[in-house]
Structures are given as C-alpha cells and as structure tokens.
Amino acid sequence: MPRDASACYSAAGSRGSARLADLVGVSVTTAYLTNWLYVFAFLAAGAVLVVLILAMEFLVNPRHPTPGKLSTYECGIVPVGDSWHPFAVRYYLFALLFLIFDVEAVFLFPWTLELRSLGTAGFIEVVIFIGVLAVGLLYAWRKGALDWH
C-alpha cells in the first residue's frame, strides 16, 4: 500500500496551469473534469432559457385581469374551501398501491421491448419482480386496504 498518496494531491495542483484553481485546491486541467463541462454548460443553458422565456412573457404578453381569469379553474367547477382539508386515510392507501403498480409499469414496458434479447434469465427476473409486488397486493387485500367501508 503506497504511503505517499497525499503527495499526489499536491502534485495534481502543480501540474495544472490554473493558478486560481490551485488556491481552492482544484485542478481543472484533467480530461476527466472537462467531460463535466458539458453538464455545467447544459445546466447554465437551461437556466438562461427559463429566465429568457419568463422575461419575454413579462414584456410582450398583454394583461387584462378579471376575477374569472384569476380563479383557479377558469372554466370548471367553482372550488369550495381550500385544499388544506383533512381527508380519509383510505385515499392514502390507494395512492400507495397506485404508486407500486405505477413503478411496475415503468419497468415492464421497456422489458417487453427487450424481451427477446434479455432471454430466459430476464423473463425469470421479471416474474420474480411481479411476484414480490403480488405479495404486496395480497398483503393489502388481506389486511382490508381494498375494502371501502
């Protein structure tokens, strides 16, 4: 086990040309980090785009507010009260069950497209996956989470 690994840290700084980077202990000269420049460029471009669109909307859009326009649903049922309202915990159970099978669908659709290339092992893995979810459904069913009394 090399005991002079810490020397590598200081060496990494002196190899580079960026003085400012040396001060904060970061050397940006490695090819590995330049790969990440694309990610940062992407993030920056995304942020600029959002600001640009919102600014354009603010400058160009005509504004004629009326009470009807400012309501939550301009053409729909008139809302009663606000959304901070206690509701039956059963909705929560159904939401949980929905979430499980939502995730299942996310996995199953790509699998059907790659069924042949994944072969028998892939098929068995998916059957096990569905089996585990089926145990969850069985549990919810036997515990009465599916009854709406």
Partner 1 sequence: MDAQAATAVNNSIEVILPLIVVSAGALAVLVADLFLGPRTKGLLAWLAAAVLVVTMAVAVGQWVTFSGGLSFSGRAPEAGFADMVVMDKFGLFFVLLFGAAGLLTVLLGDAYLAARGAARGEFYALLLLVIAGMIGLATATDLISFFVAFELMSLPTYVLAGYARRDPLAGEASLKYFINGAFSSAILLFGFAVLYAISGSTTFSAISAGLEEPSLGQGAAMVGFVLIAAGFGFKIAAVPFHGWAPDAYQGAPTPVTTFMSVGIKAAAFAGFLRLFAAAVLPAWEVWTPILMVLAVVTMIVGNVLALPQRNIKRLLAYSSIAHAGYLLLGIIALGETGDQYGSSAVLVYLVAYTFMNVGAFGMLVFMRNSRPFFRYTLEELRGYGRTAPLPALALTLFMLSLTGIPPTAGFWGKFYLFSAVVDAGQTWLAIVAVVMSAVSAFYYLRIVWYMYFEAAPDVLIPGESTALPASAGAVAAVAQGDHREVAERPAGDAGSSTVMSTIAADDPAARAEPSAAPLHADRQPIDAHLVETDTGTVAALLVAAAGVLFIGIWPQGLVWAAQGAVRLLGGG
Residue in the block written with tokens 């939401």 = 95
Q: Give whichever of 55 and 139 is closer to partner 1, judged by the CB atom.
A: 139
39 binds partner 1 (CB under 8 A): no
2 binds partner 1 (CB under 8 A): yes
5 binds partner 1 (CB under 8 A): yes
- The C-alpha angle with vertex 69 and arms to 68 and 75, in degrees rounded to 5, equals 70
Choices 40-48, 74-82, 97-105, 114-122; region in contact with partner 1 by CB under 8 A: 114-122
> From the CB of 3, what's the least distance to partner 1, in Å?
7
CB-based burial label for 22 (10 Å; 0-12, 13-18, 19+): middle
132 binds partner 1 (CB under 8 A): yes
Q: Give whichever of 50 and 138 is closer to partner 1, judged by the CB atom.
A: 138
Return the HEC string of 130-148: HHHHHHHHHHHHHCCCCCC
